[in-house]
Structure 1
Amino acid sequence: MSKRTDLIYVDGESTKIHTLESKRRLSIENPSFKNALAVWHMFSLDDTAGNNSFLTICGDVEIGIEIESPELEESIKRGGDGCSAKFNGGYLDAGQGSRGELNLKGKEMSLCVRLIDPKGDWDAPIISKYGSSSRMIYRLFAAQANNQMLLAFELGLDSDDRPLQVSVPIELIGEEKWHDIIIRYNKTKLEMFVDGVLVDEEWTMGEIRQANSEPCLIGAEISEGNIKSGFYGFIDHIALWDRAISNEEIISLSGGKDLVTQREHEILGDEKAIEQYWKPRGHNVYVGDCMPFFYDGTFHLFYLHDRRHHRSKWGYGAHQWAHISTTDLVNWKQHPLAIPITEEHEGSICTGSVLFYQGTYYAYYATRIPKQGEFLSYATSINGIHFIKNQPNPLATPEPPYKKGPFRDPAIFQDEEGLFHLLVTSELEVPYLTARGGCLAHLTSVDLQTWETKEPFIVSGQIGQPECPDYFYWNGWYYLVYSIHGIARYRISKEQFGPWQKLKNDSFDGAQLRVLKTAEFTGNRRIGVAFLPDGGYGGHLIFREIIQYEDGSLGTKFVEETIPKFGESIQLQFGVLTDSILNDDNNIKINATDSLESVVLSETPRDFRVVLQINPEPNASCFGICVRGSGNFCEGNEIRIEPHKQKVGVCKPDSSLLEENESSSIYFVDGLDKPFKLDAIVKNDLIDICIDNRRTLISRIPKFNGNRLFLFAQNASVSFENIEVRPFI
């Protein structure tokens, strides 16, 4: 970057300012700048919009640095003037702005900053009107958090002492590139755009705080009277509005549609096919509670769109209903949000259910209102895609015998006489046993709009509330499903309202699979959908096919249509680690009557699917496989099978019985002492297991990097046959 140097005086001291001749100023003013509160182009210290909120140099900052091609043209394209300010640890002080205009107010604002840190260090304030977390108005900065450098923006609102924050990892957007950072606050939502790409969002309540007397600083912030600076880089321009700029303006300020599309692919990646283990694009976006619904040949999946693991909107969640659909479980369509947050008081659009009746789709859900509780609401649609929230809202509130507060997850169904029922997660005001008042509240209606409160449908008797209920009829049996501590349990009955029978095994999977709900599908099939947590609430999408037996009991298996694609089986060459092994590669016989014996397959892919037939001899104690292993069976992730316990679990090779992770185990698995098929998928940090197409188990696993697959047996004689190891395509 080149420069021309003149001397000016600031606070009585001479300082450098770099200017270009007027004829060299190349600015083609972006129309969006014309009605901004302030625009600093860095050709000079003046504000070029409206009142002149001029800047004062503090420390080592150089103004009027000419931007060189090709970035010069990029500056002009956005309405810049081809000049920048170079920050060498100093900062610029705008004070309160002319006539106090930098003290924003109301429920709208926008901020645009074009900048670069050539060394990629960041870790410094960029622009702020701070003071402290409880007094700040706005603050754009970079800082370390969770072992990564984040670019973050915080907005202070009068509804809470804690600011709302949106952020993005610097690594994701590029450490040493020019970036257009745009912040937009529009009444109910706070958004962060980088290079025109939406990278984070939050949901708001209240107005921008007032009575902040701290100055607006560029390249620094004041916290409890202390100034922190330290930005080393260049700023092309900064603009501040007291309105929410449009999507078209964001694209224009970010270089145009083509460049934004390119950056979207670079930052977020391509849209991935919707299949097993899918999650939406975004660094902090996850699948939450799932609400499957089937009608007229289409399988609709509504799910809670989650950011930051339920911590949005000061912990209320700020969930919204997202929507995807399919007719064949292979090809999926993504639809607009079915039920978004549109009002400030909506802390979260909670889990619910859908019913089609007389040409209309009815979506029942709960609205979580900050500091008040949960209340039932509903929306309707004529096409199942675009829903309209209806009045009255709230539709129903918790009435005696139900406690004020928890009142969510409504499950809608129509009985054989035509009466409509809602089952609602709730709690008794006066429980029969201490802390065991969790129940399914029961409401009925003849018209889907006016609801009458009834006695509880079921009181679980367990600590915690029965969440995300599901009710359905299938081949002569009625099923009631609800989740306790996130684990879905089911009850069966021959009568539509019970009594409800608990079976020996009443769960669908391991403890890590969360709040499974089901829907019918073509061919009298039933598909369960849930999420696997990834570091907190919300995670990856998981499908299960529900298997029904004559006695009404249920099992699960993989939904083959949703499984990712795999290649052909790799060449198998097992090595013998111990004695008592018979080996012809695809078939292994281990005789370990009083010891631990193992064979090893080296050079396996990191992500793969392994399928094999296991034939245990009578009284086999323990056997299985170990994936991502290393050494001579010293590290990895075991799939440990124990027939006498009817148990399948995932654990470390050196774990004792007391160290086993019960969140990675399933019990009451019949037939483990007889020949059965084991199907396991290892992908990233998860392992997904299917036993004989009748029981499943999914678990997160430690990120071991070993490339060995072990087969083992302990106090058992076992044959492993027809072994296939297929890598991901």
Structure 2
Amino acid sequence: MQRLNALVLVGILAVASVGCGAEKTNEEVVDTVETKEENYLGESIEDHVIFPASVEGLVGDTMPFYDDGTYNVFYLADQRDGKQGYHPWGLIKTTDFSSYEDKGVVINYGESVEDQDIALGTGSVIKGKDGQYHAFYTGHNDMFEPKEAVMHAVSSDMENWEKIPEDTLYAGDNYAQNDFRDPYVYYVESDGLYNMLVATRKDNIGVIARFTSDDLKSWEDAGVFFENDMGTDSNLECPSLLTYKGKWYLAFSDQWPDRLVHYRIADSIDGPFTIPDQDIFDCNGFYAGRMETDGDNLYVVGWNGTKKKHTDSEDYDWGGNMVTHLLRQNEDGSLFPVLNPKVEELFSNELAVEPLKMTETTSVEEGSISFAGDQYEMAGFKDLLGSYLIKTTIKEFDKDGMFGFCFNTNDENVGRLNIIFNGATNRIEFYNGENIMERKAQSYVDFDISGSDQLDVSMLVSDGVVCMYVNEKMAFTTRMYMAQGSDWGVFGVGTKVKFDNIRAYK
């Protein structure tokens, strides 16, 4: 570590002096929805909404429900308006997660502090045998004991809902009274019963309890469906369960310590559910992911949080932008996140990508950047506004090297925001500060580069969210306000590496 510190320090001092202009504030680049860019021909290009926020403010926990050709993504609307009630359900509709229609609030929170649902929590929607849509949601009231309960509402169109308070379900004595939330309801053909999974606690450990019903009104406790198998006592938030191409998948998010979305695989609905070799899709920049499928495609839908004070150097806040990954199924049933081709199709306008600055030992050839392994090396490009897609293939890298992407560089051309492939730690890491040797990574995932000859990278940047896909095996989502409207580049720290065929698209 001391050697790497010295390399970075010496490398910074050796970087060619290039004027970068005054540093922009986050506020100057946050509002990018209406921005435009120009392609090679100088034509104006409209922007794309890739990671939708809410017409109500921001997006919290998502609850996707596929019905008749449309994904109806209910979500907790993070209005941040200071009112006593909070987190009503909003609704975003999409057919393929490349374009969206936001209907705004469809189920509001209670009207008084005496209501169990003065705050709404996560739940799910199902179409019942009666032809109506049934929403089951968490009613939360910090003034109550118990604080949480599962509540019921019905609708004929998913936009106008009638609450049925008499159907409210509370935890029994065998479950935690104040941790009883995130109901997920599904129908089991074999026994003709509706099943409900609920995130709760039993014997001081996070569990997913199961309840059954034949009428969606009264529920019987069917015991623990799944118990925390991660060696912690964490709650298992936002569970979802579905079948896809011959396998059953259970997804949940650990509330602590890592705050990652996990999944398990089984051959039948009753399990046993096993842990795949790679049981996550993304880092802690992606949370509360719920799975949904139309039979052909499988998605996991979650959110990327804003930062406190809307400042890149701060910690994550709750709620932000909706993020969706298309999942690819391997022969063994394992799942991996990939760039949605429908989203990639939006980026049809290629932009000019020529380095504006680089270190002396950097070589450039036909769109490729190569570093010689001489301390700190970088190549920087002009700022890109609005939504854009970066693609490159990383080759000829040292297996224990450190290299990656930098954004919003300082006067020494070192990024204040850095996504790093770290061969020494076998991780992909995100640092929201320039001194990566003295800071703790804000986000990371285990990712061994030693077994790969190349890293195929696709990176989406939109509305302050950066989502990188690597080798169709891992997604890496971070919040970087200054990834838009500031310069960016690629770099290596004392390692040989080649960024081949760097391209950018609008």
Same fold by TM-score, threshold 0.5 exceeded? yes
Q: 2:483 matched to 1:677? A: no
1:288 matched to which residue of 2?
A: 60
Q: Larger Cα Rg: Structure 1 or Structure 2?
A: 1
Q: C-alpha offsets along residues 58-91 of structure 1, whole Å, 9 cap, x if unaligned?
A: xxxxxxxxxxxxxxxxxxxxxxxxxxxxxxxxxx
AA aligned opposite 1:664 = S
- Tell me, what secondary structure is at the counterpart of 1:538? strand
1:355 is aligned to: 126
Structure 1 residue 380 and structure 2 residue 154: aligned? yes
Query: After superposition, what is the alpha-carbon deviation per residue over 1:407-435, rounded to whole angstroms, capped at 9, x for unaligned?
Result: 1110112234132211111122xx1xxxx
Instruction: Give 2:502's aligned amino acid.
Output: I
| Partner residue in 1 for 2:339 | 558
User: Letter of the aligned partner of 2:234 in structure 1?
Assistant: G
Instruction: Verify the 8 A CA contact 2:378 2:492 in the aligned structure 1.
Output: no
Question: Superposition pairs for residues 46-125 of structure 1, below 5 Å?
Answer: none
1:514 partner amino acid: Y
Q: Check if 1:582 corresponds to 2:374.
A: no
Distance 1:630 1:706, change over 3 A: farther
Matches within 5 A, 1:193-592: 275-281=49-55, 285-308=57-80, 312-313=83-84, 318-335=86-103, 337-344=105-112, 345=115, 346-358=117-129, 359-369=131-141, 370-372=143-145, 373-390=147-164, 392-394=166-168, 396-417=169-190, 418-428=192-202, 431=203, 436-460=204-228, 462-485=232-255, 486-521=259-294, 524-534=296-306, 535=308, 536-562=317-343, 567-573=349-355, 575-579=357-361, 581-592=362-373
Give distance in 1, aligned partners of 2:186 and 2:150.
Answer: 15
Contact kept? 2:459, 2:469, Cα under 8 Å: yes
Which whole-Å CA distance do the structure 2 matches of 1:296 and 1:684 have between them? Answer: 30
**In the alignment, is the contact (CA less than 8 A) between 1:275 and 1:562 conserved in 2?**
no
Task: Note if contact 1:439-1:456 (Cα within 8 Å) is conserved in structure 2.
Answer: yes
Checking the alignment, whether the CA contact within 8 Å between 2:416 and 2:434 is kept in structure 1 is: no
1:629-671 CA-to-partner distances (Å, cap 9, x unmatched) read 243433332221124543212226853456231x421213567
Q: CA RMSD in A?
A: 2.9
CA distance in 2, matches of 1:439, 1:312: 32
Residue type of the partner of 2:153?
A: A
**Percent pairwise identity:** 22
Separation in structure 2 between the aligned mates of residue 704 and residue 410 of structure 1, nearest angstrom: 36
Report the CA distance between 1:681 and its aligned residue: 3.1
Question: CA shift at 1:710, angstroms?
Answer: 3.1
| Number of aligned residues | 439
Contact 2:264 2:276 in 1 (8 A): yes
Q: TM-score w.r.t. structure 2 length?
A: 0.79
Give the TM-score taking structure 1 as reference length: 0.56
Paired residues of 1:620 and 1:715 also in contact (CA < 8 A): no
Name 2:401's counterpart in structure 1: 621
Contact 1:574 1:585 in 2 (8 A): no
Distance 2:185 2:128 in 1: 11
Bigger Cα displacement from structure 2, 318-327 vs 697-706: 697-706
Q: Which runs of 5+ in 2 are unaligned?
A: 1-30, 32-45, 309-316
Is the Cα–Cα contact under 8 Å of residues 444 and 454 in structure 1 kept in the other structure?
yes
Higher relative contact order (CA 8 A, sep 6+): 2
Distance change >3 Å, CA 338–CA 654, structure 1 → 2? closer
Which whole-Å CA distance do the structure 1 matches of 2:421 and 2:366 have between them? 22
More divergent stretch after superposition (582-591 vs 403-412): 582-591
Q: Work out the CA distance in 1 between the residues paired with 2:282 and 2:176.
A: 31
CA contact under 8 A between 1:630 and 1:707: conserved in structure 2? Answer: no
Rounded to whole Å, the distance in 2 between the matches of 1:391 and 1:545 is 36
1:351 to 1:624, Cα distance in 2 relative to 1, 3 A = same
Alignment of 1:134-213 (within 5 A): none
Is the CA contact (8 Å cut-off) linking 2:249 and 2:264 kept in structure 1? Answer: yes
Distance of aligned partners of 1:618 and 1:532 in 2 relative to their CA distance in 1, 3 Å threshold? closer
Which ranges of structure 1 fall in alignment gaps of 5 or more residues? Answer: 1-171, 173-271
Secondary structure at the counterpart of residue 611 of structure 1: strand
- 4+ long deviations beyond 6 Å: none
How far apart are 1:351 and its partner, in Å? Answer: 0.8
- Bigger drift between 320-329 and 643-652 goes to 643-652
Letter in 2 for 1:473: T
User: In structure 2, what is the Cα distance between the partners aligned to 1:631 and 1:557?
Assistant: 35
SS at match of 1:392: helix
- Give 1:455 shift: 1.8
